[in-house]
Amino acid sequence: MITYLMQQLHLPLVHDSFAGRLWTIAAAGVFSQLGMLGLVGSALVPALCPAPCCAAAAAS
C-alpha cells in the first residue's frame, strides 16, 4: 500500500505521523482477530444463534 501511494499517487511519506506503520498494522490485526473470535463465539454458543425461519421449519 505504501509503495502504491508513493509511486502511483505521488503522495509523500509522512515522517511525523501519530501512529507508525508497525503499530497501525498490529492494532488492525488485533481488531481483526477479535472480530473473528466474535464470529466463532456466536456460531458456537447456541443462545447467540437466531431462531429458524418459519418457512424453513415448515419445509423440513
Q: How many whole angstroms separate alpha carbon 57 and alpha carbon 52?
A: 7
Domain that holds residue 11: 1-56
What's residue 23's pLDDT? 85
Q: What is the number of domains present in the chain?
A: 1
What's residue 1's pLDDT? 74
Dihedral sign, Cα of residue 20, residue 22, residue 27, residue 29: positive
What's residue 29's pLDDT? 95
Q: Which residues of the chain have pLDDT under 50?
A: none
What's residue 40's pLDDT? 92
